[in-house]
């Protein structure tokens, strides 16, 4: 087989790409109010999130592409579901607006940092990862409430308002960490003058 025709992704990156592609039908099912199907696809995507990282370590196949694609796939999944559930009135607009604003601040800060320093990578913080886990939790609990007829999940959904507040707390704190880190890097960068 010609090298130009070879699949450009290793196994972990292929799993990550599959997660990105599965986000589309999952969101379609959500918007069509096929909640059970949306829930199952969201769960499959969530499982592959851990699987691609495990495979990358186990097979020693960590790549710059994987480092870029993995958080992109996570963000695409969570943000698309947050927006979808917000449009459907299942998640408060203020919650999604704050999370998206936080991501916007981090994206702008990263762009400024990269343009003014030699820094080309910002490692996610523990608080940032925790905020993402809680955001996943908000979406997942909402989907379980909508997609199942289980009394257990209906009771669990009562914790969603508290989960919203905790998620916002971690998100804003992590945004502060990213901004502080970026400002420190810019101050300590060698002058080009």
pLDDT in tens, 153-193: 888 888 999 999 999 999 999 988 888 887 887 787 665 44
Helices 160-188/126-147 angle, 10° precision = 150
Mean of the per-residue pLDDT values of the chain: 85
Residues 6+ apart with CB under 8 A from 174: 102, 125, 127, 128, 130, 131
- 117-126 per-position pLDDT tens digit: 766 666 678 8
Q: Residue 78 — pLDDT band, cuts 50, 70, 90?
A: very high
Q: Residue 65 — pLDDT band, cuts 50, 70, 90?
A: confident
Domain locations along the chain? 7-74, 91-188
- Taking alpha carbons only, the member of 135, 127, 111 closest to residue 172 is 127
For the entire predicted model, the pTM comes to: 0.83
Residue 95, both tokens: 């919650």
Q: Are 12 and 56 in contact, with CB atoms under 8 Å apart? A: yes
Residues 6+ apart with CB under 8 A from 147: 35, 36, 38, 39
Cα 174–chain centre separation: 14
Q: Residue 6 — pLDDT band, cuts 50, 70, 90?
A: low
Question: What residue ranges in the chain does DSSP mark as E strands?
Answer: none
What are the phi and psi torsion angles at 88 (to 5°)? -85, 0
Per-residue pLDDT at 191: 56
């Amino acid at each position: 087989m010609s090298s130009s025709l070879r699949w450009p992704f290793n196994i972990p990156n292929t799993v990550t790409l599959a997660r990105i592609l599965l986000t589309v039908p999952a969101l379609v099912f959500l918007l069509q109010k096929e909640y059970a199907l949306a829930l199952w696809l969201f769960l499959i995507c969530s499982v592959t999130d851990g699987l691609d990282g495990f495979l990358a370590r186990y097979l020693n196949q960590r790549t710059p592409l994987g480092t870029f694609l993995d958080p992109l796939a996570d963000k695409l999944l969570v943000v698309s579901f947050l927006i979808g559930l917000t449009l459907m009135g299942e998640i408060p607009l203020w919650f999604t607006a704050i999370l998206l604003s936080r991501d916007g601040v981090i994206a702008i800060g990263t762009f400024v940092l990269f343009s003014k320093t030699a820094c080309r990578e910002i490692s996610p913080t523990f608080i940032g990862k925790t905020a993402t886990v809680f955001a996943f939790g908000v979406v997942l609990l909402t989907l379980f409430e909508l997609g199942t007829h289980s009394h257990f999940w209906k009771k669990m959904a009562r914790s969603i308002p508290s989960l919203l507040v905790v998620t916002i707390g971690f998100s804003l704190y992590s945004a502060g960490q990213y901004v502080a880190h970026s400002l420190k890097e810019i101050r300590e960068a060698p002058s080009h003058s």
